[in-house]
Every structure is written in structure tokens, then in C-alpha cells.
Amino acid sequence: MKHAIYPGSFDPLTLGHLDVIERAAQMFDTLTVSVLHNKAKSPLFSTEERVKILQEATAHLPNVQVDSFSGLVIDYCRDKGVHVVIRGLRAITDFEYELQMAQTNSKLSHGEVDTVFLTTSLEYAYLSSSGVKEIAYFGGDISQCVPEFLVQRIYDKFKERK
């Protein structure tokens, strides 16, 4: 059975992430989308909130499961018995960081974990979670950037913070 893991911060989930999830879900029997629980960061949405958001956004994809992890992604892969990590590539600017991460994961796992890159669909190539947060912070329109059900929740988060 082909099982892949798509790890990320997803803070917040964007339509670009969702595009990668939908396409990866067609390539693998099971896709686990996993939210990095990073204690050092102060995210907009908590890990639990991000897991719930992803579950809501992927409810139409029966072979997608949502989880969270902390620590190294290769340890998480080993625990799950998974050998493939999915990552999206938007532009050449992503490439250096992503290549380094893929090679680090390959080296650390002694070749057990490979990374499969999906190039982001052109319509979402400009999207980033940090861009969405900046637009929302200044009250701009994020309706083309994130799933519809998430738009107001993001504005509300910034209202709570102000």
C-alpha cells in the first residue's frame, strides 16, 4: 500500500496546500497530512485548531487523514512506517530550502525517506501562509487564498489579538 506524509505548518492552510493535498491523494493509497507542533513558534492557530481545519478541508477526500507531530519528520515517518514525504514547490525560491530539507531527510534516514515534490498549480503559485496572514492583518481580501470556511476565522484571530 502506498502511503505518503505531507508535513507542514499550515498556519493557515491555503488553497495552494489544498491543491497539493488533492493531487497527492490521487497518487497514493493513503495520505497523512501532518501539522508540525512547534513549541518555539507562536502560531496564529494552535496545533489542534490546524488539525481540525485540515480535517474540515479534506472531508471530501476519503484516503486523507490528518495528524500532528513534533520532532524530526524522519522519526515520525519511521513510527508510521512511511517512506515518502510530499512537499509543494511554488517557485525557484522554494527550491534551495526544499532541496536541502529533502537531502537532510534522506541522509538522516539512511535513504529510507524520499521526498516527492509537486509543483504548485500556477493559479496558486503566488500564495504563502505568511502572505495570507499579512493581507488579513491589514484587512485585505483573502477570499482567493484560503478555503471559504476559513476566511472569517482568520480575520477573527487577528481581531482577538488586537
| Binding residues vs ligand PNS (CB under 6 A) | 7-9, 36, 72-73, 101, 104-105
Those residues with Cβ within 8 angstroms of residue 11's Cβ, 6 or more apart along the chain or in another chain: 43, 44, 45, 50, 129, 133
| Residue among 9, 34, 109, 129 flagged as catalytic | 129
CB of 137 to ligand PNS, least distance (A): 18
Of 9 and 58, nearer to ligand PNS (C-beta) is 9
Cα–Cα dist 89/51, whole Å: 22
Of 7 and 147, nearer to ligand PNS (C-beta) is 7
Cα–Cα dist 137/90, whole Å: 23
Of 54 and 141, nearer to ligand PNS (C-beta) is 54
129 is catalytic: yes
Cα–Cα dist 108/121, whole Å: 30
Cα–Cα dist 135/129, whole Å: 10
CB of 146 to ligand PNS, least distance (A): 14
60 is catalytic: no
Instruction: Please give the positions annotated as active site.
Output: 17, 41, 90, 129
